[in-house]
């Protein structure tokens, strides 16, 4: 089944403890992207990647890192999480001519 898989679905952590949210797609998509969604603010792009080893900042990249070493994986790294990074995160992927496919989301709480 074609899908974007994010893990974990839920995560509660403490300020400063490094964490990684994984994202994997099995559709051979070139484009992948991370978004965060907060009440009243819609989807805001964090980082995106056009292909392997090509990443670019979105609208809200501060406090986040990404890597694209392989086409299928696009992990989101929070080196030192803070409470203002508490949010619902979505990973998505697509190819030119196709719509974005979203993962099921990761609800992160930083205390």
Partner 1 sequence: GQNIDQPTEMTATEGAIVQINCTYQTSGFNGLFWYQQHAGEAPTFLSYNVLDGLEEKGRFSSFLSRSKGYSYLLLKELQMKDSASYLCAVRDNYGQNFVFGPGTRLSVLP
Residues that bind partner 1 (CB under 8 A): 30-31, 33, 35, 41-43, 45, 48, 50, 56, 88, 90, 92, 94, 96, 99-105, 107
Closest to partner 1 by CB, 8 vs 16, is 8
Query: What Rg, from alpha-carbon coordinates, does the chain have?
Result: 13
Closest to partner 1 by CB, 15 vs 103, is 103
In the complex, least distance from residue 34 CB atom to partner 1, rounded to whole angstroms: 12
Q: In sequence order, what DSSP letters do the residues of 67-111 get, joined into one string?
A: --SSSSB--EEESS--GGG-EEEEEEEE-TTS--EE---EEEEE-
In the complex, least distance from residue 16 CB atom to partner 1, rounded to whole angstroms: 27
Closest to partner 1 by CB, 11 vs 43, is 43
- CA 66 – CA 96 distance, rounded (Å): 22
Dihedral sign (CA 21, 80, 56, 38): positive
Closest to partner 1 by CB, 65 vs 101, is 101
In the complex, least distance from residue 105 CB atom to partner 1, rounded to whole angstroms: 6
In the complex, least distance from residue 100 CB atom to partner 1, rounded to whole angstroms: 6
Q: Which residues pair with 65 in a beta bridge?
A: 77
């Amino acid at each position: 089944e074609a899908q974007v898989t994010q893990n974990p679905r839920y995560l509660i952590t403490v300020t400063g403890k490094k964490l990684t949210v994984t994202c994997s797609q099995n559709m051979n998509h070139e484009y992948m992207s991370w978004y965060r969604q907060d009440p009243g603010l819609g989807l805001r792009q964090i980082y995106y990647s056009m292909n392997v080893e090509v990443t670019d900042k979105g609208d809200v990249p501060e406090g986040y890192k990404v890597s694209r070493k392989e086409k299928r994986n696009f992990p989101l790294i929070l080196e030192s999480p803070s409470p203002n990074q508490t949010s619902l995160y979505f990973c998505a992927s697509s190819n030119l001519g196709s719509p974005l496919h979203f993962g099921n989301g990761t609800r992160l709480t930083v205390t």
